[in-house]
Amino acid sequence: MPDFIHVLLGLALGYVISSYVESFMHEYVSDAHPKAVRAWSRAPWLFRPLINTHFSHHTIHHVRTFRNDHITQFRSEEEKKKLTEELVQRGKHGLTIIRGAFATRLHGEGAFVFVSPLVIFFPLFYFTLKPIGFLAGCVTLLLPPFMSHFVHPYLHRPFEEGQRTAPRWLAWFLGTRYGRAIYRNHFLHHRYGGVSNFNLVLGADYVRGRTRVLTPKDLEVMANIGMPLPEDAAVPPAEALRG
Instruction: Kindly list the residues in this chain that would bind Zn ion in the complex (CB under 5 A).
Output: 31, 194
Is 39 or 195 the residue whose CB approaches Zn ion more closely?
195
Is 9 or 104 the residue whose CB approaches Zn ion more closely?
104
109 contacts 92 by C-beta, under 8 angstroms = no
Pick left, alpha or beta for residue 199 (phi over 0 → left; psi -120 to 50 → alpha; otherwise beta).
beta
- Please list the residues that pair with 52 across neighbouring strands: none
Min dist. Cβ of residue 61 to Zn ion (A): 6
Q: What is the C-alpha to C-alpha distance for residues 193 and 195, in angstroms, rounded to an integer?
A: 6
Min dist. Cβ of residue 3 to Zn ion (A): 38
Is 31 or 109 the residue whose CB approaches Zn ion more closely?
31
CA atoms within 13 A on the CB side of 77: 0
Is 7 or 103 the residue whose CB approaches Zn ion more closely?
103
Min dist. Cβ of residue 152 to Zn ion (A): 6
Is 22 or 31 the residue whose CB approaches Zn ion more closely?
31
Min dist. Cβ of residue 155 to Zn ion (A): 6
- Please list the residues that pair with 72 across neighbouring strands: 69
Q: What is the C-alpha to C-alpha distance for residues 149 and 111, in angstroms, rounded to an integer?
A: 9
DSSP designation for 199: -
DSSP designation for 196: S
Q: Which residue's beta carbon is nearest to the bound Zn ion?
A: 194
Min dist. Cβ of residue 29 to Zn ion (A): 10
